[in-house]
Amino acid sequence: MEKVTIIGAGLAGCEAAWQIAKRNIMVDLYEMKSIKRNDIQHLDTFAELVCSNSLRSNVLTNAVGLLKQELRSIGSLIMESADANALPAGSALAVDRTNFSQYITDKIRNHPLIHVIDQEVETIPEGIVVIACGPLVEGKLAHQLQQLCGNDAFHFYDAVAPIVSYDSINMDVAYRKSRYDKGDGDYINCPFDKDQFDAFYQALMEAPKVEGHESIDQMIFFDGCMPFEEMARRGVKTLLFGPMKPVGLIDPRTGKRPYAVVQLRQDDAAGSLYNIVGFQTRLTWSAQKQIVHMIPGLENAQIVRYGVMHRNTYINSAVLLDATYALKSHPHWFVAGQISGVEGYVESCASGALAGINAALIARNMEPVVLPSSTMMGAMAHYITHANPHYFQPMNANFGLLEMDLTIPKNKRKEAAVAQALAQITVLNSL
């Protein structure tokens, strides 16, 4: 039986490798990190979460919550690791990023059917291939992809948020609380009064940014990843109704709602690191230090990882892929992960799962599967391959994509759709 080659041991590549090996097919998994890392990567281990440590909502009636549950039902390695390395984060699933990545690396490296090759792939090989090189792809592979996709290769910009050490947070000012007390005080909140906020806003507007090849007005940002200072540039309210929203966060010391709040979320199992929620930035490092130190409670915060911004590449799947994640021009080459135009950690993993299963089916001389759009995994694959190609942008899981039974009353429709999706997804376990 033919083996499958995978390029990239990220979220998509690891999940693809796992699903293929589960189906008794041999995998060659190429990963270049131990030889060459990019400026966003900090670990040598696989499936690195490059920015937030949150895999977002864990609630079933939330679209990404449903996607996670679908992945759990098909024995996803990424979800197994996320659940094993979960941290307190209210209704979200946040993980210790180092342990999460190490767990996956150990499982992959120790799997008898997965052969890891620590090498950079410069040319897509012949045979059955899952291209899961991620949105930060560079060098000769990026060049080949560009040639393969022509004018249908795009990019946008994505930024990561700084992380601070817990023991440098002033807990005489900051306080623990989950919004509306949903959760056990999983977040640390830094409260601003109006004067503090105005001074912070002013400094933020004046702070120097790292300039790239494109000016800020030429750059395309994805809404959920927009740099904090760019949100600020759109007006004070963008912050006060966005990442600095104070509602549901009454300060227990004053009994009052602060004017604005910056939230911090636990980043490691030991609770020694916290990331600043929604504070993804491209400010220069010295400016980040100045701005972070203006946050009440973070006056002396030690920044252990600074925010950076990166070009994020994706292809126009609406033109190039079919709903099995195969390239129409090369039906044995699958494209999975963020580069396929799905957006987010869980979505990348889900596309890797489906691309991997289909690669395994081809290796067995069987027909690849198209999932129904009444499953979230199927709905994502359907969306990216049937969207309007002229306006194609990466897409998060959401209920707008899911096919639902419109005859069911509105107040019961979502729950029925979730039940149906979870029943249907198990078909993958028989393949």
Among 5, 8, 314, 379, binds ligand FAD (CB under 6 A): 8
User: Please, what is the minimum distance in Å from the beta carbon of residue 223 to ligand FAD?
Assistant: 12
Q: How far is the CB of 30 from ligand FAD (least distance, A)?
A: 5
* Contact status: 160 vs ligand FAD (CB under 6 A): yes
Cα 3 to Cα 29, 104, 321, distances in angstroms: 11, 21, 22
Write out the two tokens for 217: 């007005």
Residues listed for the chain:
431
Q: ∠ at Cα 158 (343, 223), nearest 5°?
A: 65
Q: Residue 344 — left, alpha, or beta (φ > 0 → left; ψ -120 to 50 → alpha)?
A: left
Contact between 378 and ligand FAD by CB under 6 A: the answer reads no
Asked if residue 348 binds ligand FAD (CB under 6 A), the reply is: yes
Please report how close the Cβ of residue 14 comes to ligand FAD at its closest, in angstroms. Answer: 8
Which residue, 32 or 264, has its beta carbon nearer to ligand FAD? 32
Contact 345, 49 (CB under 8 A): yes
Within 48-67, the residues that bind ligand FAD by CB under 6 A are 50-52
Beta-bridged to residue 7, according to DSSP, are 30, 131
CB-based closest residue to ligand FAD? 10
31 binds ligand FAD (CB under 6 A): yes
Q: What burial letters (b/e) apply to 146-165, b meaning 16+ CB within 10 Å?
A: eebbeebbbebbbbbbbbbe
Looking at 134-142, 197-205, 247-255, 324-332, which segment touches ligand FAD (CB under 6 A)?
134-142
Q: Which residues pair with 131 in a beta bridge?
A: 7, 335
Q: Does 310 bind ligand FAD (CB under 6 A)?
A: yes
- Give the span between the Cα atoms of 356 and 131, in whole angstroms: 10
Nearer to ligand FAD by C-beta: 95 or 133? 133
Q: What is the rounded CA–CA span in Å between residue 108 and residue 309?
A: 29
Residue of 21, 40, 74, 240 interacting with ligand FAD (CB under 6 A):
40
Q: Is 7 in the site for ligand FAD (CB under 6 A)?
A: yes
Q: Is 97 in the site for ligand FAD (CB under 6 A)?
A: no
Q: Which is nearer to ligand FAD, 86 or 408 (CB)?
A: 86
Size of the site for ligand FAD (CB under 6 A): 35
- Sequence letter at residue 160: V
Question: Is position 136 an interface residue for ligand FAD (rule: CB under 6 A)?
Answer: yes
Of 40 and 108, which has the nearer Cβ to ligand FAD?
Answer: 40
Q: Which stretch binds ligand FAD (CB under 6 A): 9-17, 178-186, 268-276, 357-365?
A: 9-17
Beta strands in 193-292 (DSSP E): 260-266, 273-276
CB closer to ligand FAD, 348 vs 420: 348
Q: Cβ closer to ligand FAD: 141 or 239?
A: 141
Q: Does 383 bind ligand FAD (CB under 6 A)?
A: no
Of 337, 341, 356, 378, the one binding ligand FAD by CB under 6 A: 337
Which DSSP string corresponds to 268-332? STTS-EEEETT----B-HHHHHHHHHTSTT-TTPPEEE---EEEEEEE-HHHHB-TTSEETTEEE
Binding site for ligand FAD (CB under 6 A): 7-13, 30-33, 40, 50-52, 120-121, 132-137, 141, 158, 160, 225, 310, 312, 337-339, 344-345, 348
